[in-house]
């Protein structure tokens, strides 16, 4: 099973916050609830509260080709005994094995697999989530088996050792993952009386001995219908679903447990400010600024945090990102607010540093607080909030149907978090600008309410984290700042990419059609408004003469792509915020561009991308920075988990145009900026373009696309360099020397040919 946690810059929170006023159980059992849904949503919904207080969201989708269900238990690692780390995770594993009604060992998984489905679960800090999907005609049998996990589980002692080993294997898998290592070290900075400070995956040591009694006690004491939420999606009517669910899931015992949330502060009064340094395995360094906040979920209709996370993470002109990037100090910057427990949220700003930026961490911190000062001293701007609210409103209005299993497992935990009527809309709502509330939250973003996390391969450690054996050092006291001249920061200007035309094109029942075919340019069209959304997808393959045939071509093309994307960041970030984005890739043929999102303004964005691709500026400082970063990334692949390295080796061996990362490093290492300019001049002289426009577009849009491409590119017919797959004639063994506590084996059995028939049979 997948073990899931939230890695929100690895935790730091505030004491003394008031409780959230949200209580999903406040809805009376007899009161009908209308679940607010998108106008574009064809599914039907019904919220019901069973007699045993199990909260249920029923979803009828008559057109679905998969049925799915998820049950979230609002108990997780927070709730396990202090001396049994991983017990909640271990129980999650054990429930899948057998029940009294269905005693066949692993019978549920066998039934699911035999009926075109899949299942999984994860254990979080405050809940455990179980979910599956299957073909609709087998759903009744699957749902009955699933319900009995929680009605009459066996929790067999006979299979405890097997699942202990499975839990321990998950622990071992993460041992050399820098994300997990940083997360575990971050627990060392927390209030030790908070359950979030504990190890939670589980191991053979923490689950040692006769654990059966502990397992039974945990299930009996923590699993109760009044602390569960169920989402069921099927092709049945709502009445039929309710008639099926009530008697079945109504059998789950209600022990009247009530809510149970940690009620101790995340930090004691003397624990902040602090600097936490930890040793990473991969080369490179990063710095994370964590500010504890009162929980923001109680204000989900206003979302004050969206205002300042948008500004802190902005990449447009005048932003913190652009200032630090121009100095060559950072590679990336992100900002988010997430929830840790029922009373606390955390603002996390994470910055990936360049080697030069690593030397200037105190200066980076100073500029960071300069930008915060600008945000705090500028009264909250309603027009900025309204822009975000407009994008959120449009996104909800044109929300597209998600896959059944993804839909149910994401929604099941929310039943315990939001009123029933807002379960679908909660993450989109921004209904009221509240400047005073924004300023209230901004007041927590200050130097004395801060945990700074710094990770690098070499630090001066004073302690070792006990579970992942990570060297670290924790120092309390003011955070170092190297005072810098006042930077020319500015808040964003009005977003030019906000969509104006949201009308749907006339319905077209035609299949994909070739609209244009001339030397150097082939364009296809598929008008498709069946999703009820004014979105479109544009895919362009820009084949260059000779393609990317050599390791040097591949390495240089990857670097050039990074430089183009770097040039575009300031210009295209507003488009991203407005629901419009681009992608740039380097297939064997040359380059490919994808544009996706709201159809309005797509060609304007494409023009911007093409200009950067063909004529963008090449700056020596950014060249040096991005080249070093790419080489670092390639070298770090040798420190990936074993299964990731095994799959990479398989691809490098069997597919043309793929080379081991060390070969790419050798090819890129001696490259100069002048050589890159020469490469661009020679390789990007002409293009042979094949394109597809799909979605809310029609013939006139293709005509406009043809004009743009013809004026922007030198279009010439050229042969398209296509990848080849090596034919495996004999047994081929590829042993890999990998430094990791885990092991992996990839078995590749090759089809006799690449026909669709062979692919279907092997699948």
Rounded Cα–Cα distance for residues 515 and 523 (Å): 6
How far is Cα of residue 401 from the mean position of the Cα atoms in its chain? 18
pLDDT confidence tier of residue 17, bands split at 50, 70 and 90: very low
Ranges of beta strands (E only) in 552-706 are 580-585, 590-598, 688-695
What is the band of 523 on the pLDDT scale with cuts at 50, 70, 90?
A: very high
Confidence of residue 355 (pLDDT cuts 50, 70, 90): very high
Task: Write down the residue that tokens 């073909």 correspond to.
Answer: 135
Instruction: Please report which confidence band the pLDDT of residue 20 belongs to, taking 50, 70 and 90 as the band edges.
Output: very low
Range of weakest confidence among 257-266, 698-707, 715-724: 715-724
In whole angstroms, how large is the CA radius of gyration of the chain? 28
Residue 42 in this model has a pLDDT that exceeds 70: yes
Instruction: State residue 24's pLDDT score.
Output: 53
Q: Which residues pair with 473 in a beta bridge?
A: 277
pLDDT at res. 31: 58
pLDDT tens across 504-521, in order?
Answer: 999 888 899 999 999 999
| Strands ordered across the beta sheet of 44-49 | 44-49, 55-60, 228-234, 67-73, 128-134, 118-123
- Residue 457 near residue 278, CB atoms below 8 Å: no
| Residue 73 CA to its chain's centroid (Å) | 23
Can you tell me the distance from the alpha carbon of 224 to that of 251, in angstroms, rounded to the nearest whole number? 11
| Residue 684 to residue 561: CA distance in whole angstroms | 13
3-state secondary structure 397-456: HCCCCCCHHHHHHHHHHHHHCCCHHHCCCHHHCCCCCCHHHHHHHHCCCCCCCCEEEEEE
Q: Which residue has 């040798």 as its token pair? A: 638
Q: What is the pLDDT of residues 142-157, one digit of tens each?
A: 999 999 999 999 998 8
Secondary structure class of 454 (helix, strand, coil):
strand
Nearest partner of 91 among 205, 221, 196, 241, judged by Cα: 221
Cα–Cα distances in angstroms (integers) from residue 304 to residues 215, 380, 384, in the given order: 42, 10, 12
Lowest mean pLDDT among 252-261, 697-706, 729-738: 729-738
Residue among 598, 609, 606 at smallest CA distance from 568 = 609
Cβ atoms 167, 456 nearer than 8 A: no
Structure-token match 């909660």, residue found:
426
Decide if 190 contacts 266 (C-beta within 8 A).
Answer: yes
**Rounded Cα distance, 567 and 558, in Å:** 15
Residue 733, both tokens: 């063994």
Nearest alpha-carbon partner for 153 in 137, 172, 130: 130
The residues, ordered by sequence, that sit 6+ positions from 113 with a Cβ below 8 Å of its Cβ are: none
Distance CA 355, CA 64 (A): 51
What 3-state class would DSSP assign to 214? helix
Write out pLDDT tens, residues 604-646.
Answer: 999 999 999 999 999 999 999 999 999 999 998 888 888 888 9
So what's the pLDDT on residue 600? 93
- What is the pLDDT, as a whole number, of residue 329? 97
Report the sign of the C-alpha dihedral through residues 391, 397, 403, 405, in that order.
positive
Phi and psi at 464, nearest 5°, equal -130, 125
Name residues whose C-beta falls within 8 Å of residue 406's C-beta, 6 or more positions apart in sequence.
Answer: none
Q: Among the listed ranges 260-264, 459-463, 731-735, which one has the minimum average pLDDT value?
A: 731-735
Sign of CA dihedral 175, 177, 178, 181: negative
Confidence of residue 726 (pLDDT cuts 50, 70, 90): confident
Q: For residue range 478-501, what is the model confidence (pLDDT) as tens digits? A: 999 999 999 999 999 999 999 999
Q: What are phi and psi for residue 8, nearest 5 degrees?
A: -100, 70
- How many Cβ atoms are within 10 Å of 415's Cβ, its own excluded? 25
pLDDT above 60 (res 201): yes
Count CA atoms closer than 13 A to 222's CA, side-chain side: 25
Distance between CA atoms of residues 749 and 760, nearest Å:
14
Sequence length of the chain is: 763
**pLDDT above 90: residue 739:** no
8 A C-beta contact, residue 647 and residue 550: no
Residue with tokens 């504890």: 292
Q: Residue 109: which H helix or E strand, with range?
A: helix 107-114
Contact 234, 204 (CB under 8 A): no
Contact (CB, 8 A) for 474 and 278: no
**Mean pLDDT for the chain overall:** 92
- Decide: 176 and 123 in contact? Cβ < 8 Å: no
Specify the range with the lowest mean pLDDT, choosing from 207-211, 421-425, 675-679, 724-728.
724-728
Angle of CA points 403, 405, 408, to nearest 5°: 105
Q: Tens of pLDDT along 59-116?
A: 999 999 999 999 999 999 999 999 999 999 999 999 999 999 999 999 999 999 999 9
What is the set of domains in the chain, with CATH numbers?
Answer: 65-225 (3.30.830.10), 274-380+433-476 (3.30.830.10), 513-712 (3.30.830.10)
- Rounded Cα–Cα distance for residues 559 and 630 (Å): 7
Q: What is the pLDDT of residues 370-403, one digit of tens each?
A: 999 999 999 999 999 999 999 999 999 999 999 9
Q: Is residue 692 a contact partner of residue 524, using CB atoms and an 8 Å limit?
A: yes
Strand blocks (E) in 546-673: 580-585, 590-598
Give the C-alpha separation, 116 to 106, whole Å.
16
As a whole number of angstroms, the distance between CA 127 and CA 744 comes to: 30
What integer pLDDT is reported at residue 26 of this predicted model?
A: 47
């Amino acid at each position: 099973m997948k073990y899931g946690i939230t890695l929100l810059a690895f935790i730091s929170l505030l004491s003394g916050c008031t409780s959230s006023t949200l209580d999903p159980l406040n809805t009376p059992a007899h009161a009908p609830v209308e679940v607010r849904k998108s106008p574009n949503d064809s599914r039907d919904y019904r919220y019901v509260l069973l007699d045993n207080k199990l909260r249920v969201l029923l979803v009828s989708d008559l057109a679905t080709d998969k049925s799915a269900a998820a049950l979230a238990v609002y108990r997780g690692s927070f709730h396990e005994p202090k001396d049994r780390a991983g017990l909640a995770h271990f129980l999650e594993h054990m429930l899948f094995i057998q029940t009294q009604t269905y005693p066949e060992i692993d019978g549920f998984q066998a039934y699911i697999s035999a009926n075109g489905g899949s299942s999984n679960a994860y254990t979080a800090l405050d809940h455990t989530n179980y979910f599956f999907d299957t073909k609709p005609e087998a759903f009744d049998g699957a749902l009955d088996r699933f319900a009995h996990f929680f009605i009459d589980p066996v929790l067999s002692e006979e299979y405890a050792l097997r699942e202990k080993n499975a839990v321990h294997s998950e622990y071992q898998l993460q041992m050399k993952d820098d994300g997990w290592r940083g997360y575990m070290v971050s627990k060392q900075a927390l209030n030790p009386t908070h359950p979030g400070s504990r190890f939670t995956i589980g191991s053979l040591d923490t689950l040692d001995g006769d654990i059966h009694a502990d397992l039974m006690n945990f299930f009996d004491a923590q699993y109760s219908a009044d602390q569960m939420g169920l989402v069921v999606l099927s092709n049945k009517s709502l009445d039929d679903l309710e008639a099926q669910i009530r008697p079945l899931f109504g059998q789950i015992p209600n022990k009247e447990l009530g809510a149970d949330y940690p009620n101790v502060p995340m930090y004691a009064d003397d624990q902040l400010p602090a600097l936490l340094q930890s040793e990473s395995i991969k080369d490179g360094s990063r710095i994370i600024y964590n500010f504890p906040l009162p929980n923001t979920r109680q204000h989900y209709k206003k979302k004050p945090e969206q205002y300042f996370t948008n500004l802190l993470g902005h990449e447009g002109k005048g932003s913190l990102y652009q200032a630090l990037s121009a100095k060559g100090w950072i590679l990336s910057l992100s900002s988010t607010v997430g929830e840790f427990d029922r009373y606390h949220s955390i603002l996390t700003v994470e910055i990936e540093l360049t080697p030069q930026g690593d030397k200037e961490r105190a200066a980076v911190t100073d500029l960071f607080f300069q930008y915060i000062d600008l945000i705090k001293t500028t009264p909250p701007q309603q027009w900025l909030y309204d822009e975000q609210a407009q994008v959120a409103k449009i996104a909800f209005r044109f929300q597209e149907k998600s896959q059944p299993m993804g839909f149910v497992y994401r929604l099941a935990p929310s039943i315990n978090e939001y009123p029933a009527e807002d379960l679908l809309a909660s993450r989109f709502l921004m209904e009221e600008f509240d400047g005073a509330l924004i300023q209230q939250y901004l007041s927590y973003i200050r130097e004395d309410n801060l945990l700074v996390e710094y990770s690098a391969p070499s630090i001066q450690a004073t302690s070792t984290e006990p579970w992942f054996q990570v060297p670290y050092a924790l120092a309390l006291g003011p955070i170092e700042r190297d005072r810098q001249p006042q930077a020319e920061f500015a808040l964003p200007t009005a977003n030019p990419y906000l969509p104006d035309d949201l009308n749907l094109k006339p319905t077209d029942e035609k299949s994909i059609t070739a609209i244009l075919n001339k030397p150097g340019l082939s364009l296809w069209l598929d008008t498709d408004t069946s999703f009820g959304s004014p979105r479109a997808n544009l895919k362009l393959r820009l084949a260059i003469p000779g393609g990317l045939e050599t390791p040097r071509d591949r390495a240089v093309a990857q670097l050039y792509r990074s430089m183009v994307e770097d040039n575009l960041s300031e210009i295209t970030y507003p488009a991203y915020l407005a629901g419009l984005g681009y992608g740039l890739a380097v297939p064997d043929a040359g380059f490919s561009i994808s544009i996706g999102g709201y159809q309005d303004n797509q060609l304007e964005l494409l023009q911007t991308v093409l200009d950067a691709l063909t004529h963008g500026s090449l700056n020596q400082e950014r060249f040096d920075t991005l080249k070093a970063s790419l080489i670092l990334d390639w070298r770090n692949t040798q420190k990936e988990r074993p299964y990731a390295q095994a799959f990479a080796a398989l691809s490098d061996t069997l597919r043309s145009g793929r080379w081991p990362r060390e070969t790419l490093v050798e090819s890129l290492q001696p490259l100069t900026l002048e050589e890159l300019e020469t490469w661009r001049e020679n390789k990007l002289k002409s293009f042979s373009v094949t394109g597809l426009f799909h979605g809310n577009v029609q013939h006139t849009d293709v005509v406009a696309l043809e004009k743009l491409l013809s004026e922007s590119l030198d279009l010439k017919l050229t042969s398209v360099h296509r990848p080849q797959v090596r034919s495996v004639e004999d047994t081929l063994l590829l042993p890999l020397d990998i430094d990791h506590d885990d092991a992996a084996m990839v078995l590749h059995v090759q089809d006799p040919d690449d026909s669709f028939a062979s692919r279907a049979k092997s699948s």
